[in-house]
Each structure stands twice: as C-alpha cells, then as structure tokens.
Chains A and B, each alone.
Chain A
Amino acid sequence: MSDYNFAYLDEQTKRMIRRAILKGLAIPGYQVPFASREMPMPYGWGTGGVQVSAAVMTPDDRFKVIDQGADDTTNAVSIRTFFERTAGVATTTKTSQASVIQTRHRIPEEPLSEGQILVYQVPIPEPLRFLEPRESETRKMHSLEEYGLMHVKLYEDISRHGHIATSYAYPVKVEGRYVMDPSPIPKFDNPKLGDMAAIQLFGAGREQRIYALPPYTQVVSLDFEDHPFEASKPDHPCAMCGAENSYLDEVITNDAGGRMFVCSDTDFCEARQAAGHTGTMNGKDAA
C-alpha cells in the first residue's frame, strides 16, 4: 500500500476532481468537465466512477461495489480489490453498512440514508447526443434549455413501439432545469433518483464529465401527458425471496428452457432470505 498515494490518485488530481464534484453539486444535473486520468484499468471498467470514488474516499470509509446489482462480478471484485489495495479501506456487500457505494446499472433496493454517497459509472453522459452529435450544439441546448429534442426521442419510441420503449438510461429533468442521463440504470430505478437522502455522483471517464445530485433533489422522468412515465419491471415476485417490488433479472435454470425471476440486487435478496422470506424456488413447497 505504501507504494501508492492513498486511493491511487495524487492529491492534486483529487482536489481537481473534488472541485468538479462540488460544482456539480452546486448545479444539479449540469455536466462538469474534468481532466480524467489514466487509471490502471480499461475504459468501460468504470474509470470515471473509480476516480470519483477515489476523490471522495477517506480512510474511515466502508466501500461497496455493485455491478448490475451484484457484488461478485469480475468488474465489481476488481474495483473493490483496487481500493482495498490502494486505500486500505474496509469493504462490505451490505448496502446499509457502506458509506461509499460505486455502482454500474443499478440503484440499491434498500433506501439510502444521509451520509452515504452513491457513485455511478457513466458510459455516455450526454442525453442529447443520439440525435445531436455536435458537442458545441448540445452544450448550447443545455445552456438555453432547448430540450424539445429529448421528447423527439420519446416520440420516436412510441411511434415505433406503441409505447415508450426506452427502458435504460431513461432521461430525467433535474430541479426543472437540466436534462440528465441517469446512466444505464433500468427506468424502474428512476423514481429512486429523486428526493434521495444520499449524495449521488456520476463519473464518465472516457468522456471526462462529472455531474451530481445533492440530497433531496427533484428529479422527474420525461414523458407525454397521454403516455406517462412508468417504472416498469417484470411482473413476477422474486423466486428466491418473494419480493414483489424489487427489480428482477431473468435467470435460465436448466437446458430445458426453465427460467425464473430473481432480485437483481443480491444483497437485498439475501437479506430478505436471511430474515425468513421465501419464494417459489426455495420455499417449503419447492424444497
């Protein structure tokens, strides 16, 4: 550990990132440019999130990493190990015990509390890019609040699919001002973005952008009057813990095409099972 500066980044870099974070917190939803550093992992492995985590982390923190809801994927393990090694911080898989949570593609089911920080890994921070590739133009659209284009995207969805088919990275408007990409979380998680007690920080490494939501920020998912936003999920209970209101992954159980739906948030599911909740796959009937 002594080979590294605490949490890998040098203090000057961390100060620069903290300034970007503070600016992001002061202007919720606004994309702040920052000078992204080379990290000892490839882009796409959450280098933006890692730099933000490194900048906010203290030796007293307890760190958790979620990748698509799970703590045990290669990506999650490698980031957790990275901070164990470079910062010597304690780690955990328990949402309630973590002070800093880095995540890819999910918000934990368990409500977060004040004092916690949720760090998102962001691949593409610019919600307007798919229809307007020129960055000079999208910057102007943000500064002038010209957001009609976001609704064109939703219009196209409905005209093609009969409903708003966007199910990940569903655009939101923050405090009635900036339109923001919440990173590729399922739209089921969108309602959790708003009015959250924890600080939410978003880091895009390759794109060199940081943005943020301070606690208790108003976040509204864009929609049409006659096609209102719906935080949809598969219409099943969890087969392991019986939860009715958690986001589910579909899991193939055998070669014969057997499948079941289980919580994508593994910590949430295990805690419920430990508390005695059961689903069809591990209840008394199935046993």
Chain B
Amino acid sequence: MTPLLSVQGITKFYGQHIGCKDVAFDLYPGEVMGIVGESGSGKSTLLNCMAGHLTPDAGAVVFDTRTDGPRDTVTMSEPERRMLSRTDWAFVHQHARDGLRMGVSAGGNVGERLMAVGDRHYGDIRAKATDWLGRVEIDANRVDDRPTTFSGGMQQRLQIARNLVTGPRLVFMDEPTGGLDVSVQARLLDLLRGLVRDMGLSAIIVTHDLAVVRLLADRLMVMKDGHVVEAGLTDQVLDDPQHAYSQLLVSSVLQV
C-alpha cells in the first residue's frame, strides 16, 4: 500500500540551533500519528515543515495526491501547495482564533472552504455548515453568531468543523486541546475520537498531553532536542517505554 504521507529526512535549523533533525516516518490512510515532547523538542517545527508553513532545510514530505500520486510537497509550486492546504489537507491550530475568522459568522467560517473550492449555492453551503455544526455539537441556531460569542471549547469545535467540512484526507493538529479547561478537554477529545473513527481520518497530532495521544493516536513518536528518540505503537510506547527520556515523560516526572 502507498503511504498517504511519507516524511523523509526532514531537517530544519534556526541558525546554529537544531529545530528538528532527520525525521522520517510513513503515515498510512486511516492512521493517526501522535508526536509528543516538551516545548522546544522540535515537534511544532516538524509539524510546520510537514504542513508547508515552514520550508525545511533538507528532506521531503511526499503526499499521495488524488490526481498525480505521490508528490513532494516541499518542492511543488506554492499555488499547488496552497490548493492542497484548502482541499485535501486541514490544519487545526492550538488557538482557535488563529484558525477562525472572528469577524465572520459560524456558518461563514464553516462555509469558507466550500466556497473556496467553488460551491456557489447559498442554500447548500448553509445546509452543509449547519450539518457540521451539529456534528461538532454546536446548536444549529448559533449558525449566524460570530465565534467571539462562543466559549473556548465551542470555538475549538467550530475550528474543527471548518477544517473537516471538505472531507480532507489528512489533518494536522497542533495541541488541539491546549489551553482548554480539563472538563472541556475531555469533551473535545471524545468528539475528536468519534470523528476520527467515523470518518476514518488520517491525522498527525502534536501535543505534550499524553492523554490525547493515548486516546487518539495509533502510533507515537517521542521527540527531544529535535530528534525522534522513540517510535512505535502508542500503547507499547506508553506502557513500556524503552528510551530513558520516554520513561521520564511517561512517569510524568517532566511537567511541561
């Protein structure tokens, strides 16, 4: 089977400082990869290199495109990459306001990606947006309200709806539960788990929260100082960590 995403030797420096070094893995359709580590471990740099927000100094990010099969997204043209990022890719930001248009209604936020790919029927766009609000447990009568009137948890759920409405084949998530209250986190995690299962989503989730990967990720990579120090099935890594740093992380000695 062709991997959906094949990450090969991704390296990024900030001057002399290592962002991430020589990271490689394959992600297969329907798989969820978790990437954990402290802040400064390079996990966010890696995510941004994969998602096209940063240009890596070396390496390839090969995505199995619908039309042309595997293509290196690092070297493809910017228009092609931007097209990918509003069709087959989605990116869920840690802070909902980075991923939402705060001056636009909830319906408009969800509908934007539909309109970006050419939907021109107001009634259809609104119906799809309303349906997606329901799927992320936001009451349909909030469709015309702006996200500024939403709680933090609702904003994050709205951001997820806005990203998933076009049925992306790969979702990048950057600390999707970060900054939310614990009870709100639990509800969001439940919701994400349901969506991942129902839609068969392929996703890469960066987080420092082991509960998130325990619940969502099939496989796990542990990063430290820009390097992957351990990788494997999530349960294996969490229940029987081999690397000393993973053991520390799992034993919660490290508070992030």
Residues of A participating in the B interface, judged by any CB pair closer than 8 Å: 131, 144, 146, 148-149, 151-152, 155-156, 158-160, 224-227
Contact = CB atoms under 8 A, between A and B. Distances in A.
B103 A148 contact: no
A227 B120 CA distance: 9
Contacts of A160: 105, 144
Given A148-B112, A148-B116, A159-B107, A224 B82 contact: no
Contacts of A224: 120-122
Interface residues of B, number: 24
Contact of A152 (B78, B115, B120, B144): B115
| Nearest 4 interchain pairs by C-beta | A148-B116, A151-B115, A224-B122, A148-B115
A149 B112 contact: yes
Nearest to B77: A144
Contacts of B104: 131, 152, 156
Given A148-B116, A224-B120, A225-B122, 18 more contacts: A131-B101, A131-B103, A144-B78, A144-B82, A149-B115, A152-B108, A152-B112, A152-B115, A156-B104, A156-B105, A158-B122, A159-B105, A159-B107, A159-B108, A159-B144, A224-B122, A226-B123, A227-B122
B59 interface: no
A159 B103 contact: no
Query: Majority SS of interface residues in chain A?
Result: helix
Contacts of B111: 152, 155
A49 B94 CA distance: 46
Given A224-B121, A225-B121, A155 B144 contact: no
A159 B112 contact: no
Contacts of A151: 115, 120
Interface in B80-104: 82, 86, 101, 103-104
Contacts of A227: 122
Interface of B: 78-79, 82, 86, 101, 103-105, 107-108, 111-113, 115-117, 120-123, 125-126, 143-144
B115 to A, nearest CB: 4
B143 to A, nearest CB: 7
B143 A159 contact: yes
A65 B56 CA distance: 56
Contacts of A152: 101, 104, 108, 111-112, 115
A221 to B, nearest CB: 13
B105 A144 contact: no
A148 B112 CA distance: 6
B121 A146 contact: no
A226 B121 contact: yes
A185 to B, nearest CB: 24
B122 A226 contact: yes
Contact of B116 (A131, A146, A156, A159): A146
Contacts of B82: 144, 146
B109 to A, nearest CB: 8
11 contacts: A131-B103, A144-B78, A148-B86, A148-B113, A149-B115, A149-B116, A152-B115, A156-B108, A159-B107, A224-B122, A225-B121
B141 to A, nearest CB: 13
Instruction: Output the residue of A149, A152, A224, A225 with the most chain B CB within 10 A.
Output: A152
Contacts of B112: 148-149, 152
Contacts of B79: 144
Nearest to B121: A225
Contacts of B117: 148
Contacts of B108: 152, 155-156, 159
